[in-house]
Every structure is written in C-alpha cells, then in structure tokens.
Structure 1
Amino acid sequence: MIHLDEGTVLANGVNMPWVGLGTCKLRHPQAVERAVHAALDAGYRSIDTAAIYQNETEIGNALQKSTVSRELLFITTKLWNASHGYNNTLAAFDESRRKLGVDYIDLYMIHWPIKGQIKETWRALEILYNRGDIRAIGVSNFGVSDLEELIRHCEIKPLVNQVEYHPRLSQKKLMHFCHQNNIQVEAWSPLMQGEILHESLILQIAEKHGKTPAQVVLRWALQNGIPVIPKSATPHRIRENIDIFDFELPIEDMVNIHFLNENRRIGPDSGLYFYD
C-alpha cells in the first residue's frame, strides 16, 4: 500500500510527496490563502505554483501563517517562458523565492521548453541546485525529444517532468523514456478538469469501493507511480483529493482504466505551443 506519510524518492534521494495542491488559476488572495490552509490542515505537504500563476506572494503569506515547519513542506514553482536565459533565470528564481518567503525552493522547474534557450536556462538551474538554493530541479511539459535535447547538454539530468496525465492521456512512450532515465513523472490536471469524473467506468469503480470518482482517478495515478497535484479552491474537495490512502485498486480496475486512454489532451502540447 502507498501511504500518506510516504512519497516517491527522486534520483538524488529527495522525498517528494504523492499528493500536492495545484494552484493554477487561483489568484484571489483570500481564495489562495484559504486553499493553502485547507490543504495543510488536511495533511498536504506539497504546494505547487508557478511565476505565471501570479499567486506566489499569496502562497508565501499562507505559509508564513502556517504552523507546519518549513522542513516538512515541499514547495514547487516554475520559470515562465519570458524569463529564459542564464541571467534572466537567476533573477526570476530570486523573485519567486522572495515572493514565497522561503530560503530555498524544493523543486524548481522550466515551465515549457523554449527552442534555443534550454541549454543556458538549465545551466542556471544547475548553478542554483549546486548552491543549495534548490533541492531538486526539473522540467514541465517536456516531450521525449525535448528531454533528449536537454540530456545531451546537461551535467545534471532533470529529476522531475510534470506533464498532463490522466486516464485519457497515459503517455506511454514518455513514461517509458522517463523511467529509463530516472526522471520522475508528476501529473498536472490528473482529473482532466473534471471531465473524466463522468466516465461510466470510473463511476462504477467508485461505487464498488465506496469512493468518489476523483479519488479513484487519483489513486489510479499513484498506483502507476505518478504523484498528482489536483487543483481545487474548495476545502471539502481539497480534503477529498488526499483521502486516497485507505484503499487499493485491484489489477482488473487498473487495467480497465488504462484502456480509457485516447491520447487526448485538454491542455497545450509542448510540440505545438511555446516553442519559438
């Protein structure tokens, strides 16, 4: 069984929680702080944000008010497209760290691959990592070709690749490549913005286990070895999304959910967007 107080261990030995709070599109200060407090109270220790979300300051304010000690938290933020390049990356990191009000960031990521910029941008992340300002460095929305390009030039491989992942988009080729290169995949939009929760198979499995459709889908991801960062601003949904450690999906349920794959995205594809 996978347990709440455990996590996946990255290639450098850093422990990354299985479930984090996604905060994309959460911008109203009170909503952000309420969501972070609800998450921490429910047992979350991972909070995911990005410079482009424009809520790092609000998240930082919530963290300062929390009684959870800093060393128990896993804070992720991401470098936006306009800040690529060696010097720009160093400056953007310092700005994110200042807004979050922390001495270090647990996971810092390149948000999207930008053609011609990855090498110098990644060099800056490696410097920050070697200085101890970041515990883990990673990428987001990188496909196989993007990762191959980065790996050809880097000294430190990315430890995490955060991508769209849910039962309609299982990304088998990418999963295999990341596994072969000791890159942990993390799922954004694991609930497919709620669309997958109306799938009849998911509803049937949820009823069988006495769980909600969201809990079934999130548990499916965890049993595939994929940490998740479901987004919600609603306290009871936040609590529901982490209440997935008291049951296990049998192999037949796992296989049946796997066959829901249609290679269908709800978000942009890195091969088509943000690449020039």
Structure 2
Amino acid sequence: MTVLDKFRLDGRVVIITGASSGLGVSFAEACAQAGADVVLAARRVDKLKDTATLVRNAGRRALIVRTDVVDPDQCTALVDATVSEFGQVDVLVNNAGIASALPATRESPDQFRSIIDVNLNGSYWAAQACGRVMQPGSAIVNIASILGITTAGLPQAAYSASKAAIIGLTRDLAQQWGSRKGIRINAIAPGFFESDMTGQFDDGYLDGLASRMVLGRTGDPVELAATLVWLASNAAGYVTGQTIAVDGGFTIA
C-alpha cells in the first residue's frame, strides 16, 4: 500500500448530516470520489436528491434518510437505516448546523437554544448513535468553526458557544472511545468558505476581514473536503482529539 492509498475510503460507509446544501454537498461528493458509499441526512429531503446524484455520478451508492438531529430517536433511526442498507457505519461527519447574528441583549432564549440544540446537541446525539455500532478503525469528524476559537466582528454568541463546545466534545469523545472502542474523533474548524451561510453576510463583510486572512482569500470548499477525507481515512490513523483549523491563517493573524 502506498501513502496515497491510505487516503482512500474504499469499502467504507460515511454518514453526513446536513448534506442537503453548502459544505455538506462538497463533503458528500468528496467522500464518494474517495471510494465511500454515502448516507445523506437532513431535514430537506428534496434537496438531498441533488446530493445523491453527485454521489452516484462518482460511482458510489447513496442512501437518503430524512433526519432532524435534534431528536435522538431520529439519529438512532438514521444509524439503523444505514446498517440495514449497508451493514456498517465507518465514518460520521457531524455537519448539520445553523447560525445567527444577533446582539446578545436581543437574542431570545428560544433563539439561543435552537442554535445549541442543532449544532451541539445534534452532533452529540448523532455521535452517540454511531458510537454504539461503530467498529475499531472508524472515525467521527465534527464540523466546528474558527468562531469557536476566535471572533470575526459579528455578534454570534450562540453560534460561537456551540462551536467551542464542539471542540470540547471532540476531545472528550476521543478520550472515551480511543483505546476502548478504537474510534478516532477529530474536528475541523473552517474559516470562510463559499456556502449558504456566508452568502447571508452583508456586502463588504468578508472584504473587511481580508487583513486577517494570511493567504489573502476565502477558501475553496474542495480544500475543506480534502481535509475531511484525510481525517476520515487511514492516512490520519494516528490523529485523534484534534481540531484542525482550515482557515487560510485567519486564527494566527
């Protein structure tokens, strides 16, 4: 086996939450291109059909499972459907997430709770359901954010808190499930990539952050997906409990 072979996901089954749009679509296509069959989970089933087409065009199988990750029972049903169809779960990508940009004095309890419920609790329920059936050598990749590490000018207390918590969750699950279950858990902290989320920013917002982007540009989703494939693959077989910032140097500027 060559070094490049270690980056392949042949024979693996990957669950991706939030696979209906944005970075989740890029993750699904990249995993399929690396050789994995992909289970696509989201609330918007109609949009999952487009993602499934990308997976199948890459020559891999796709399964669509409508899932609201805030419901632990639906996360369990997602895993059950995956095992029923493919017989195994090898990789979970905890990508489902929502954001808000509200001043802290005006954010309602329900608005704050909804962010935490999807971004943090949903990631935990999905990981818990997968952790019950995953075999040694499996991997979980949590999608955090650089806003769990630093700030970027917008009032995003709930979102930032949820993503910082994802980093802590990653460390703890890596400790719990490493030697006992043989499951690796890592996180990616994306910087600014073209997505539905960044498309909601006001004109000029990203330009105003340019001085903090060491590489002088926003990221290409393919660059983020490449990091995901690495962490999911045997190439990262000795990496666990880590949060990898993929941000063009934003967090060091």
Shorter-normalised TM-score: what interval? 0.3 to 0.5
Superposition TM-score, scaled by structure 2 size: 0.41
Superposition TM-score, scaled by structure 1 size: 0.38
